[in-house]
Structures are given as structure tokens and as C-alpha cells.
């Protein structure tokens, strides 16, 4: 049976931690769809087009990975795309409560949808998109946080907001 999974997120912006999880997922499943969500609750720093472009330039060359924009409920998007599981990274115990709540909600909405948690690489347990934006906003070095090919674009946009 061919496995199709979705790696959903805001990816505002994508970090090396996200890339680690997507790369791991690509080795475990036949098809990995990276779903970049509009996410109405948050006010993203980057447009959906920018976030998709960052991901395409960093994981777009992995043959079984596809990047798409998503709007609405994850449970419905997964169904429409034929994905049978959601893949999420867990950095620390503090992530668990929110992630568990999301996983159970998604399964309630779509009983065929399971969630698979992958442990982050230990070198990225502290890393988040918010940390990247905060450090860049103050002019700090984000070289170790984001892929080199999109570093300048991220840094300049966030720094330019100041
Ligand atoms: O990278 P994030 O911000 O932690 O990703 C959160 C995301 C986009 C996966 C989550 O907010 C989501 O699934 N949004 C879609 C709307 C939805 O399905 N909500 C109900 C599930 S709690």
C-alpha cells in the first residue's frame, strides 16, 4: 500500500528543524505533502506565497515531497489529498499538550486520520519560527536556524520591519 502523509504547518518561516522533520518523513513514507496553512489565528510575517517558495527552494528537490498551500481544516485537506496520516515534529514535552489536542481533534473530525510524531533532532529542540523572527528583528545571526539559500530574504524582510 502506498502511504501519503501531510506535514502541516505555518512555516513562518521554515527552519532547519522543519526541514529535518520533512526529510525524515520523506524516508519513511511514499509521498509527503508539505501543507502550508493560511492559519487565520496568526498574523504571519511572510505571505503564503513566500512561505511556499521558501519550502520549494529547500525541500522541493526531494523527489517524493510536494509543497502546497492549504486553507481550512487540516482534517478535510488531508482527506481531499488522500493523506492517511499527519506528521508533526515534537521538540520537547512542552509541545505535547498542544500536539495531542490537535491530533485528537483531527481524528474526531476525520476518523481515518492518524498523527505520527517524530522526535526532533536534539540540535533543534530550542528552535522555532518565532525564535528566528525575534533574533532577526534584533539584528542577530540566524545562520544556524534557517537554510542558507533563503537566509538573506528572511533576515532582510524581518529586519526591514523594524
Ligand atoms: O506550524 P504551526 O503553526 O504549529 O501549525 C499549526 C497548524 C497549521 C498545523 C494548525 O493550526 C492547523 O491544523 N490549522 C488548520 C485549521 C485546523 O484544522 N484546525 C483544527 C485543528 S486543531
Q: Which of 10, 46, 110 to mutate to test the pocket of ligand 1 (most atoms within 8 A of CB)?
A: 10
Q: What is the structure's pLDDT at 40?
A: 64
Atom 5 (ligand 1) nearest CA: 9
On the CB side of 116, how many CA atoms lie within 13 Å of its CA?
18
Pairing of strands 85-90, 114-119: parallel
Average pLDDT, the chain: 95
117 in Cβ contact with 90 (< 8 Å): yes
Ligand 1 proximity of 9 Cβ (cutoff 6 Å): yes
User: Using CA atoms, how far apart are residues 50 and 35, in angstroms rounded to an integer?
Assistant: 14
Whether 32 has a pLDDT exceeding 60, the answer reads: yes
Percent of the chain with pLDDT over 90: 90
Ligand 1 proximity of 10 Cβ (cutoff 6 Å): yes
Amino acid at each position: 500500500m502506498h502511504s501519503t502523509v501531510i506535514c502541516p504547518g505555518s512555516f513562518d518561516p521554515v527552519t532547519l528543524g522543519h526541514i529535518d522533520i520533512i526529510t525524515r518523513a520523506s524516508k519513511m513514507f511514499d509521498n509527503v505533502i508539505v501543507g502550508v496553512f493560511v492559519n487565520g489565528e496568526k498574523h504571519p510575517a511572510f505571505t503564503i506565497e513566500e512561505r511556499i517558495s521558501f519550502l520549494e527552494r529547500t525541500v522541493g528537490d526531494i523527489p517524493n515531497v510536494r509543497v502546497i498551500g492549504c486553507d481550512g481544516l487540516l482534517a478535510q485537506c488531508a482527506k481531499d489529498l488522500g493523506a492517511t496520516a499527519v506528521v508533526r515534529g515534537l521538540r520537547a514535552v512542552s509541545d505535547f499538550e498542544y500536539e495531542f489536542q490537535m491530533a485528537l481533534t483531527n481524528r474526531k473530525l476525520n476518523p481515518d486520520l492518524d498523527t505520527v510524531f517524530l522526535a526532533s533532532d536534539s540540535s533543534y529542540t530550542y528552535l522555532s519560527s518565532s525564535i528566528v523572527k525575534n533574533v532577526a528583528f534584533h539584528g542577530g545571526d540566524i545562520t544556524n536556524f534557517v537554510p542558507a539559500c533563503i537566509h538573506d530574504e528572511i533576515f532582510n524582510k524581518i529586519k526591514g520591519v523594524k
